[in-house]
C-alpha cells in the first residue's frame, strides 16, 4: 500500500490507545496526499521501547478546513496539513 501525490485518502479511525500521533480531529476525514516525507520509526512503537520495529512511510496530508469543522468560520479554501503515518490512511 502506498499513496501517490494528490491521491484522495481517508484517515482511518483506528481504535488504538496509548501514544498515537494521528490527531483525533482528522480521523474519518477525507484529505489529499501532498507528498511522501520518507520512512520514519513509528512513535507508537518508540514510546514503548520498541526501537527495532520497522519504519513506516510518513505522508503530508492536506485537508480542507470546511471538511474538518462543521462550523469553520474562515474562507472556504482554508486548509490544514498534518503528517500522518501510512497505516492510518486508506484510499477514498
Partner 1 sequence: MSGNGHNHDHPHPGTGRTATPHALRVRAMEKLLVEKGVLTEAEIQDRISYMDSRSPANGARLAAKAWTDEAFKERLLTDTKSAALELGVDASGPVEFIVVENTPEVHNLIVCTLCSCYPRAILGRPPDWYKSFEYRSRAVKEPRAVMREFDYEPPEGIEVRVHDSTADIRYMILPMRPEGTEGMSEEELAELVTRDSLVGVTEVGRVR
- According to DSSP, the β-strands at 56-64 and 30-40 are antiparallel
**Measured from the CB atom, is 7 or 65 closer to partner 1?**
65
**Measured from the CB atom, is 22 or 33 closer to partner 1?**
22
Burial of 57 (0-12, 13-18, 19+ CB in 10 A): middle
What is the smallest separation between the CB atom of 27 and partner 1, expressed in angstroms?
Answer: 12
Is 70 one of the binding residues for partner 1 (CB under 8 A)?
Answer: no
CA distances from 56 to 2, 74, 78, 79 (A): 11, 34, 29, 25
What is the smallest separation between the CB atom of 84 and partner 1, expressed in angstroms?
Answer: 7
Residues that bind partner 1 (CB under 8 A): 21-23, 25, 37-38, 40, 43, 58, 60, 65, 68-69, 72-75, 77-85
Amino acid at each position: 500500500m502506498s499513496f501517490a501525490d494528490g491521491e484522495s485518502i481517508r484517515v482511518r479511525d483506528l481504535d488504538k490507545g496509548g501514544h498515537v500521533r494521528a490527531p483525533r480531529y482528522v480521523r474519518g476525514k477525507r484529505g489529499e496526499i501532498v507528498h511522501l516525507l520518507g520512512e520514519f520509526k513509528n512513535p507508537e512503537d518508540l514510546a514503548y521501547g520498541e526501537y527495532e520495529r520497522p519504519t513506516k512511510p510518513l505522508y503530508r496530508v492536506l485537508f480542507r478546513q470546511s471538511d474538518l469543522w462543521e462550523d469553520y468560520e474562515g474562507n472556504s479554501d482554508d486548509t490544514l496539513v498534518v503528517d500522518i503515518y501510512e497505516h492510518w490512511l486508506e484510499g477514498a
